[in-house]
Amino acid sequence: MSHGTQSIDRAAEVLALVVRAEEPVTYTQVVERTDLARSTVSRMLQALERNGLLERDRDGRFRGGALFAQYAARFDRVEALAAAAEPTLERVGEETGETVNLGVASGDTVLHVAQVDSSFVLGATNWVDVNVPPHCSALGKVMYAFDALPMPRGRLEERTSHTLTSLKALKQDLETVRELGYAVTRSEFEEGLDAIAAPIQNPDGSVHAAIGISGPSLRLADEDRRLGKLLVEEAAVLSKVLTRRLRKNLPH
C-alpha cells in the first residue's frame, strides 16, 4: 500500500467514525477508537475540518461538516421538486401520450429525477439511468441556453449524423432555444428519436430544472411547435407553484 493510499484510508476511517457517531466526538475519543497516533489523528482532523468535511461545536467536539449538510439539502430539494412536479408531468403525459421527464442540472450534466412513461409501446423508455450527453439532449440544451450548465469545450461527441458536434453550431442552436423558450432535438442522440424541453425558473429568473418529452420522430417531427408551447405553459405554471411554496416556507 502506498503512503498516499494509506493516508486516504486513515482519513476515511476518522471521517466515518465521526459521521456515524450518534453525537459529536472528542479528539481523545477518535484516538482511542482508531488506534492511530495522536499526531496522525490531529493532522487528519485538521485537514478534514479545513475542507468542510468536519466541523467543531462550541465544546470542541467534532461532527459532520458543511459539505454533508449541503449534499443532503441538495437532494432534499430534488425530492421536493420531483413531488411538486408530479401533477405537471402527469398532465403532459396524458396530453401527449409520450414519455415525460424532469431533469435537474448536476455538475456538467443533466440528472433525470422523475418520469411519466409513454402510453405507446414504441417510445416507452426509462431515462433515469441513461447517460445522455447534454448537447444532444433537449433537457441539456435548455440547461446550456439558460446557464444552468457550464458550456462544453472542444469538439462534441457525435452520436448520430444529426448531432451538433461544434461549439459554434451548438451556440447558434441555443440562441434559438432562448428565442422560442424551448429546446428541440431531432435524431441527435439516437436515430429516429426526437425530444422537446422547456425550463423551470427559480423566483430570481435563473434555471435549475426542465421538463421534457421524448418519442419517435414519426410522432413528434411535426409537433414541436405545439408541444413546445405546451411545455412552456406547463413549466411556467410549475415555476409559479414552486415560487409560492418557497415563499410559504420562508421565515416571517
The residues facing 199 across adjacent strands are 210
- Both 57 and 168 in a single domain? no
In this predicted structure, the answer to whether residue 195 has a pLDDT above a threshold of 90 is yes
Q: How far apart are the first and last CA of the chain?
A: 56
- Both 193 and 211 in a single domain? yes
Q: Last residue of some domain: 42, 64, 86?
A: 64
- pLDDT, mean over the chain: 88
- Both 94 and 164 in a single domain? yes
- CATH number of the domain enclosing 79: 3.30.450.40
- Is residue 105 a part of any domain in this protein? yes
- Is residue 97 a part of any domain in this protein? yes
In this predicted structure, the answer to whether residue 129 has a pLDDT above a threshold of 80 is no
- Both 83 and 161 in a single domain? yes
Which residue would you say has higher pLDDT here, 150 or 68? 150
- Both 43 and 159 in a single domain? no
- Both 236 and 133 in a single domain? yes
* pLDDT value at residue 2: 57
- Both 195 and 239 in a single domain? yes
Instruction: Report the percentage of the chain scoring pLDDT > 70.
Output: 89
The residues facing 63 across adjacent strands are 55
Distance between CA atoms of 167 and 156, rounded to whole angstroms?
7
Q: Last residue of some domain: 46, 64, 82?
A: 64
Q: Binning pLDDT at 50, 70 and 90, where does residue 120 land?
A: confident
- Is residue 41 a part of any domain in this protein? yes
- Both 79 and 28 in a single domain? no
- Both 228 and 200 in a single domain? yes
Range of the domain at 27: 3-64
Closest CA relative to residue 213, chosen from 183, 242, 252, 190? 183
CA distances from 239 to 170, 221, 244 (A): 26, 27, 9
Sequence letter at residue 23: E
In this predicted structure, the answer to whether residue 237 has a pLDDT above a threshold of 60 is yes
pLDDT per residue over 151-190, tens digit each?
Answer: 998 889 999 999 999 999 999 999 999 999 999 999 999 9
Sequence letter at residue 72: A
- Is residue 69 a part of any domain in this protein? no
- Is residue 126 a part of any domain in this protein? yes
- Both 37 and 130 in a single domain? no
Tell me the Cα Rg of the chain: 23
- CATH number of the domain enclosing 60: 1.10.10.10
C-alpha cell at 191: 436515430
Which residue would you say has higher pLDDT here, 185 or 21? 185
- Both 57 and 116 in a single domain? no
Which residue would you say has higher pLDDT here, 149 or 70? 149
- Is residue 209 a part of any domain in this protein? yes
* pLDDT value at residue 233: 96
* pLDDT value at residue 250: 45
Quote the number of domains for the chain: 2
pLDDT per residue over 78-115, tens digit each?
Answer: 787 888 889 999 999 999 999 999 999 988 899 888 99
- Is residue 82 a part of any domain in this protein? yes
- Both 12 and 118 in a single domain? no
CA distances from 207 to 139, 143, 145 (A): 12, 7, 10
Closest CA relative to residue 136, chosen from 99, 116, 161? 161
In this predicted structure, the answer to whether residue 52 has a pLDDT above a threshold of 90 is no
In this predicted structure, the answer to whether residue 225 has a pLDDT above a threshold of 60 is yes
- Is residue 110 a part of any domain in this protein? yes
Half-sphere exposure of residue 233, counting CA atoms within 13 Å on the CB side?
9
* pLDDT value at residue 72: 54
* pLDDT value at residue 4: 66
Beta strand 62-64 pairing with 54-56: antiparallel
Q: Last residue of some domain: 38, 64, 90?
A: 64
